[in-house]
């Protein structure tokens, strides 16, 4: 089956506003790296520009009133209702083609989900997707349309068992809200604790309600958590839960703001830890939909996505440009164009505090959630 990259040069050229930290151009930088490292020329690989989906699919999660506000805002109208819906704020500015951009990126996620459902692809990556903060009736945290909630809702409607794994540094509050009361989706989020990072949610005590009790798993981590500790927590909790749930499809939000160089979060992972986590996710299910989500160091994000693509496709990067020319090829940034970065280990008091915090979270989930699924500690 195919390995599919959802990509559009036009989408990569879009911009919220010049000073905004969310930059779709990350996807173009990644595409350049895939070519440079010989990662996009296999016979089973395809690059597909998303086709716009039926707008009615948005209403599987969003309210019709909110989508109409998005359209009017894009056309230059402004009302108090729009501001109340999170539009026109510093995080979610109104810009030209705003609704069309959000619809197109969401269409890529939905198209990828359908390719997996129909058995056309084994793995699909939409670097433009992953807007996990958007609510049913409001924009939030750089997110206008919750492509994840829409795609998963349609998969559920088609009787698919879906597991959602979110490794973005920020808790995906919008996706949590979408499936908090259902056992049709197993949602697992590893993120920096809401005590130190937006959106302030995602405590391990938030385990779902009604039929969803035990199907919403939050794994908040202390600021400063490094590769070693992150991988220990992931291995301790995620594989047992996924293997017990037996999903048809895993949707993975693989945000790169967990990297220690990211300016908007405080975790301390390197490319080594990120790649190891991607490898573990890849082993959890035959069908995987990966979404780009966060990542605000542009070149580091592009490099990590390239590593993730290589891992999901079972390829080893080879620098096809090495030794051909002198100088830097991808801008003046230090290390630009390089995929890996050196190992980094947190030590001393900070490591001790991170370890204590992580062990408390592991004990809480193993004590309160594992028994609900019949998983032995």
pLDDT tier at 94, thresholds 50, 70, 90: very high
Angstrom distance (rounded) from CA 145 to CA 125: 18
Collapse the DSSP code of 95 into the 3-class scheme (helix H, G, I; strand E, B; otherwise coil) and give the result: coil
List the catalytic residue out of 110, 132, 133, 357: 133
Per-residue pLDDT, averaged over 310-317, amounts to 97
106-150: pLDDT as tens digits: 999 999 999 999 999 999 999 999 999 999 999 999 999 999 999
Cα angle for residues 251, 253, 258 (degrees, 5° grid): 150
What pLDDT, on a 0 to 100 scale, did the predictor assign at position 279? Answer: 98
Among the residue ranges 69-83, 151-165, 169-183, 262-276, the one predicted with the least confidence is 69-83
Per-residue pLDDT, averaged over 39-51, amounts to 97
What pLDDT, on a 0 to 100 scale, did the predictor assign at position 373? Answer: 97
DSSP bridge pairs for 162: 185, 249
Cis omega (within 30 of 0) on the bond before 199?
Answer: yes
Mean pLDDT across the chain: 95
70-81: pLDDT as tens digits: 999 999 998 999
pLDDT of residue 324 exceeding 70 = no
What pLDDT, on a 0 to 100 scale, did the predictor assign at position 321? Answer: 75
Q: Domain coordinates of the chain in residue numbers?
A: 2-319+338-373
- Indicate if 138 belongs to the active site: no
Angstrom distance (rounded) from CA 256 to CA 47: 22
35 burial class (0-12, 13-18, 19+ CB within 10 angstroms)? middle
Fold that domain 2-319+338-373 belongs to in CATH: 3.40.800
10-32: pLDDT as tens digits: 999 999 999 999 999 999 999 99
What pLDDT, on a 0 to 100 scale, did the predictor assign at position 377? Answer: 73
48-91: pLDDT as tens digits: 999 999 999 999 999 999 999 999 999 999 899 999 999 999 99
More confident residue, 1 or 4: 4
Among the residue ranges 106-110, 306-310, 343-347, 373-377, the one predicted with the least confidence is 373-377
What pLDDT, on a 0 to 100 scale, did the predictor assign at position 338? Answer: 84
């Amino acid at each position: 089956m195919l390995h599919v990259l959802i990509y559009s040069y036009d989408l990569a050229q879009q911009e919220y506003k010049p000073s905004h930290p969310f930059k779709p151009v990350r996807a173009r930088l990644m595409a350049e790296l895939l070519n440079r490292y010989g990662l996009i020329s296999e016979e089973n690989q395809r690059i597909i520009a998303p086709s716009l989906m039926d707008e009615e699919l948005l209403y599987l999660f969003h309210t019709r009133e909110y989508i109409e506000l998005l359209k009017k805002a894009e056309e230059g109208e402004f009302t108090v209702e729009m501001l109340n819906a999170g539009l026109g704020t510093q995080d979610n500015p109104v810009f030209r083609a705003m609704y069309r951009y959000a619809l197109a990126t969401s269409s890529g996620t939905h198209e990828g989900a359908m390719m997996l459902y129909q058995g056309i692809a084994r793995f699909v990556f939409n670097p433009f997707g992953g807007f996990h903060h958007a609510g049913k009736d409001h924009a939030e945290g750089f997110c206008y349309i919750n492509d994840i909630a829409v795609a998963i809702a349609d998969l559920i409607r088609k009787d698919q068992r879906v597991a959602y794994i979110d490794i973005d540094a920020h808790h995906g509050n919008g996706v949590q809200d979408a499936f908090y009361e259902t056992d049709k989706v197993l949602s697992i989020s590893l993120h920096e604790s809401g005590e130190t990072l937006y959106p302030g949610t995602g405590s391990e005590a938030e385990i779902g309600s009604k039929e969803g009790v035990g199907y919403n798993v939050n794994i908040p981590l202390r600021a400063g958590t490094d590769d070693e500790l992150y991988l220990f927590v992931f291995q301790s909790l995620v594989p047992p839960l996924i293997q017990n749930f037996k999903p048809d499809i895993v949707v993975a939000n693989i945000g790169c703001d967990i990297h220690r160089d990211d300016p908007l979060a405080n975790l301390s992972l390197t490319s080594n830890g990120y790649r190891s986590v991607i490898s573990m996710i890849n082993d959890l299910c035959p069908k995987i939909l990966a979404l780009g989500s966060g990542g605000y160091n542009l070149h580091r994000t592009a490099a990590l996505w390239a590593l993730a693509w290589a891992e999901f496709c079972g390829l080893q990067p080879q620098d096809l440009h090495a030794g051909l020319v002198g100088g830097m090829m991808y801008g003046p940034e230090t290390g630009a164009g390089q995929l890996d970065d050196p190992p980094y280990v947190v030590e001393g008091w900070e490591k001790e505090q991170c370890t204590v915090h992580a062990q408390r979270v592991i004990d809480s989930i193993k004590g309160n959630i594992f028994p609900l699924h019949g998983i032995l500690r």
